[in-house]
Amino acid sequence: MKILLLSSYYPPDLCAGSFRAAALVDALLETGGAPVTVDVMTTRPNRYASFVSQAAAVETAPGLTIHRFQLPSHEGGAGQQAWSYLAYANAVRVATKSGTWDVVVATSSRLMTAALGAQVAKRVNARLYLDIRDLFTDTASDVFKGLAARIALPALHWLERRTLRAADRINAVSPAFVPYLQQRAPQHPCRVFANGIDEGFLSQDFSKPDRAPSSPRLIVYAGNMGEGQGLHCVLPEVASLLGAVAHFRLIGDGGKKSLLQSRLTAAGVNNVTLLPPLAREQHYQHYREADALFLHLNDHPAFRKVLPSKIFEYAATGKPIIAGVSGLAADFLENEVGGVALFAPCDADGMARAVASLDEMPSRMDRSGFRARYTRRDIMMRMAKDILALGETG
């Protein structure tokens, strides 16, 4: 069986989609055995302009070929990202012109990768499996305003319905996505294969010596710094409120990092350290040094359906979690994870109280049950079997 996987990001690029795609490829090859071959069509590392990592244009391994296409560099703006997508889509169209596959899998946080998968699957007469990691048009309706958005959104909604209805099977990483997806593609029952904990986090010891009572708590965030995370909306005020009580270490990059930096400077705070994106293995030491880990989503209705992949990574450490989230993410943290101080998104006073509540929490949590339930390898093995079953029906 020949499988084509389309993903805008793939290791060594740094993002949730990259890690998920690689784990899925491993599972497909392990589950399917020798009769299965996988072609990955992705991009050279481009998630962040500040993170440069070399990767071969073509990489081969038993049963696997990875094609990485060079894209124009961008700083995260919408126009630049659209131009980069067009370059990726054109490269995929050229590369698939003479190929044949049984199943096309598109893992998509942005609608266009899913739409590209639908186009390619139709052209090569393959079954289409969509892995939906975000509701792009739902989020865009909340986040983007103005004339350009009003003009673009009807077309995006039309493309979304067309793409979803072209699929043979659909997976949603969040159970809260299912009603939205089934409303637009009612003939497709949705699977839910969520994100999970990577093997690297399961093998690490994240314990640290007890903190001296007089020293500030070290609170670590690692990830994107964009509109969706909304760090610029809450952290400058919280850092000012807490002063010497806490020190925040933020690792990553994104479209709102410069705005966050300017607001921190305007607030005159000196208890926030901003670090550039780091390879994932380098996160282990920062997590080990942390007294708590921090997660935040901006206050937009669409984000109430989201289940951030960062939750699984943080929970695996056993460290307390400070989370400014609502909806599904808040319920999941409270019911499945434990050891979490929740506050309403963008509520600086609430976050300050959440930090203070760490005094009443143990420094490490026993989350062995969570780790067993949400191992990424097990989740991806089940998803791989679902994809292979689709290919067998073609």
Q: Give residue-wise pLDDT tens across range 43-99.
A: 987 554 545 567 889 999 999 999 999 887 645 555 566 677 888 999 999 999 989
Domains plus CATH for the chain?
2-196+375-392 (3.40.50.2000), 200-373 (3.40.50.2000)
Distance (Å, whole) CA 68 – CA 82: 18
Average pLDDT over residues 12-39: 93
pLDDT tier at 146, thresholds 50, 70, 90: low
Q: Are the C-beta atoms of residues 274 and 262 closer than 8 Å to each other?
A: no
Instruction: Judge if the upstream peptide bond of residue 12 is cis by omega within 30 degrees of 0.
Output: yes
Residue 282 has a CB neighbour count (10 Å cut-off) of 12
**CA 268 from chain center: how many Å?**
32
Task: Provide the angle, in degrees to the nearest 10, between the axes of the packed helices 231-242 and 257-267.
Answer: 30
Q: Report the pLDDT value the prediction gives residue 224, as an integer from 0 to 100.
A: 92
Q: In this structure, which amino acid lies at residue 142?
A: D
Judged on CB neighbours under 10 Å (0-12, 13-18, 19+), 74 is: middle
Q: Give residue-wise pLDDT tens across range 149-164.
A: 667 778 888 999 999 9
- The answer, yes or no, to whether residue 208 has pLDDT greater than 80, is yes
Percent of the chain with pLDDT over 90: 73
Q: Give residue-wise pLDDT tens across range 348-365.
A: 999 999 999 999 999 899
Indicate if the alpha-carbon torsion angle 118, 123, 125, 126 is positive or negative. Answer: negative
Place of tokens 């989230």: 325
pLDDT tier at 382, thresholds 50, 70, 90: very high
Task: Provide the angle, in degrees to the nearest 10, between the axes of the packed helices 147-166 and 111-124.
Answer: 40
The tokens for 193 are 């294969």
Average pLDDT over residues 161-176: 95
Which pTM does this prediction carry?
0.90
Nearest Cα residue to 28 out of 386, 384, 391:
384
Please report the beta strands in 186-305, taking only residues with DSSP state E, as ranges in sequence order. 190-191, 217-222, 246-251, 272-275, 292-296
Per DSSP, 380 falls in state: H
Report CA-CA distances (Å) from 305 to 12, 172, 190, 276: 28, 11, 15, 29
Sort strands 340-343 and 321-324 into parallel, antiparallel or unpaired.
Answer: parallel
Sort strands 64-69 and 58-61 into parallel, antiparallel or unpaired.
Answer: antiparallel
Place of tokens 């004339």: 147
Q: Report the pLDDT value the prediction gives residue 321, as an integer from 0 to 100.
A: 98
